[in-house]
Every structure is written in C-alpha cells, then in structure tokens.
Amino acid sequence: MKEITSEMIRELRERTGVGMGKCKEALVLAEGDMEKAIDILRKSGMAAGVKKEGRETKEGLILTGENKETLVIAEANAETDFVAQNDRFKHFLHDVVKQALDTKPKSLNDLVQQPYYKDRSVTLDQYRNLVIQSLGENIQLRRIEVIHKHPNRSYGIYSHMGGKLVVLVEIDGASDQEGIAKEIAMHVAAENPEYLKPEEVPAHAKAREEEIARSQVQGKPANIIDKIVDGKIKAFFDQVCLTHQKYVKDNSVTVQQFLEICAKKVGKPLSIQCFWRWKVGQ
C-alpha cells in the first residue's frame, strides 16, 4: 500500500474540510488514492463539498498577448516568487508571448526550437538558459496556447493576483463585446467552473456523482431515490457548469441568464463558446 504521509492528510483536509483523523482513515481505506479517499468521505456524508484546487506547487506568471488575428496565453515557472517578480523573468515571458504571436507555433516544443527574434544566433530555449544563468534559478516554460480569433466572436481576458490566475472567455455572436466576455471571465476566476455546460460533463464524472448520491439515500423507495438522485445531479451541474452557475455579481440569475440579458441589450444572440482558466502551477 502507498505510504500515507502527513502532507497527503493535510491536502485531503484542505480539499474536504474533514478532520485530520478521518482524513487519515479514508486514505488508509483508499490505499493512498486521493480521489478514492474523497469519495469515501463524501459517501459517509462527512464531506459535503470538495475544493477542486490543490495547493500550488510552483511559482511563476501567466501572460497573454493579442493582435487582430491571434491571441496567446503562456505560463512560465520559477523556483521562487522573488524570481517570478523579477523584471528579467517578466521580460523573458513577454518575449515568449510576442514570438508566439508572430510565428503561431503548433506546440510549445516547436516554439522553443525557433531562433529567438531578438538574437537569431540562439534558439528561444537557449535564451531561456541564459536567463537561468542570470537569475540563478531553474526556469521552465510550462505551457502555451495559440488561439486563432474568429471574426464574429469576442474575447475577454481577466488577470488576477498579478498574473497568477488568468481567465479567457470566448463569446460567439459579435466581435465587439469584449466587456461582456471580461465580466464572465471575472466570474470564472471567482467560481472556477469545470465545464461549460452539462452536455460537456464526461459520462464517468456523472456516473461517479450518481453512485455517491445513491449511496447517501439507501433504504428509501426506488421512485423516491430516483427523484433525489436527479436533484443531486442537477445540483452538481449547477456547481460545476459555467452556464448553470449563479452569476457572481447577481445571484438572482445564472451566467446563461446574464448573457441572455446582455444579448437583448446589444440586439444580437450571444453564446459562450469556450473558456480557459489557468492558475500558476496547475
């Protein structure tokens, strides 16, 4: 069996709010599997909700850049926040984003092998090594995404905690509604939805919730159980799906209803196409 460490117990406590002793028991029963331990606590009724985010494991920054055709989001990591806040580190990440905007690489590996646009005698990865030598810490490019803009869509960007958390929302139906898209991006930053809408929830995730829900209502008549389970699945969708969440600035409406109100004001049908929520180290 996997060794149960104090760090694992603390993480389970942080994610579930359950006492240390019960967390240890659950981890032992789950043979060290964190997700199984969470299910055990939920089935027993001790963990009503679960924090979806674990602890941050790396320092760094996330940066976006855009032009008329393209939008880029990139994350670079360092060992300490002191280095992540250093101007040399920030300039490095800025250069990465600018080069990605210009060259539109297919992958992170393609990007780092390119000649660095300010000094074509070195690759972008070799430039990264020069920054490492200058700052004295290991620096890594963790991820990058190049998004090709659509002519009838709006893009809202919200950066929080000085670039530690960045959200991008893409809205279909108009190209001049960045403000609405940013409002929804701020909601995503605060509420951390896992999916856009119920149709996108994987079958295995829904099945897991159904299993947990049924384990909590054993002994009741079958028709009552089905109604309770359906209600719990709906509550699950309301929690994890962006369009079903209560809008953070006005919880009398859902995010979908907020968007419909905005659509009436601008006179165009609007829909959320997709969203990105990046947090440093995740």
How far apart (Å, rounded) are the C-alpha atoms in residues 207 and 209? 5
Burial string for 136-166 (b: 16+ CB within 10 Å, else e) reads: ebebebbebebbebeeebbbbbbbeeebbbb
Contact 4, 15 (CB under 8 A): no
SS3 282: coil
Q: Are residues 49 and 62 in the same domain?
A: no
Contacts of 195 (CB under 8 A, 6+ apart): 201, 240, 241, 242
**The tokens of 260 are what?**
């419909």
The whole-number pLDDT of residue 174 equals 97
**Domain boundary residue, one of 149, 176, 210:** 149
User: Do the domain assignments include residue 214?
Assistant: no
Alpha carbons 152 and 259: distance in angstroms, whole number: 16
**CATH number, domain containing residue 63:** 3.30.479.20
Percent of the chain with pLDDT over 90: 74
- Both 97 and 64 in one domain: the answer is yes
- Answer yes or no: do 51 and 87 share one domain: no
Domain for residue 220, yes or no? no
Residue that finishes a domain, picked among 40, 55, 70: 55
- Whether 27 and 75 share a structural domain: no
Asked whether the whole model's pTM tops 0.85, one would answer: no
The fraction of the chain above a pLDDT of 70, given in percent, is 96
User: Which bin fits 65, alpha (ψ -120 to 50), beta or left (φ > 0)?
Assistant: beta
Tokens of 90: 């920030």
For 21-63, what is each residue's pLDDT tens digit?
889 999 999 999 998 998 888 888 777 656 654 444 379 999 9
- Looking at the fold, whether 1 and 83 belong to one and the same domain comes out as no
Whether 140 is covered by a domain: the verdict is: yes
Alpha-carbon span 207 to 202, nearest angstrom: 9
* pLDDT tens sequence across 51-107: 654 444 379 999 999 999 999 999 999 989 999 999 999 999 999 999 999 999 999
71 in the same domain as 30: no
Q: Are residues 45 and 66 in the same domain?
A: no
Q: How far apart are CA 37 and CA 35, in angstroms?
A: 5
Single out the residue in 128, 149, 170 at which a domain terminates.
149
Q: Has residue 280 been placed in a domain? A: no
- Asked if residue 194 belongs to a domain, the reply is no
Other C-beta atoms closer than 10 Å to the C-beta of 249 total 11
Query: Cβ contacts of residue 71 below 8 Å, gap of 6+?
Result: 64, 65, 146, 147, 149, 155, 157, 168
Structural domain boundaries enclosing 12:
1-55
Q: Annotate 83-98 with DSSP letters as a single string.
A: HHTSHHHHHHHHHHHH
Judge whether 99 lies within some domain.
yes
Q: Are residues 82 and 131 in the same domain?
A: yes
Same domain, yes or no: 48 and 98: no
On whether both 68 and 142 belong to a single domain, the answer is yes
Domain count for the chain, please give it: 2
Reported as a pLDDT band with limits 50, 70 and 90, residue 20 is confident
Asked if 137 and 108 sit in the same domain, the reply is yes
Q: Are residues 84 and 28 in the same domain?
A: no
Whether 67 is in a domain gets the answer: yes
153-160, strands of its sheet edge to edge: 153-160, 165-172, 271-279
Question: Tens of pLDDT along 180-210?
Answer: 999 999 999 999 999 999 999 999 999 999 9
With contact defined as beta carbons under 8 Å apart, do 84 and 185 qualify? no
Residue 221 is assigned to a structural domain of this protein: no
CATH of the domain at 5: 1.10.8.10
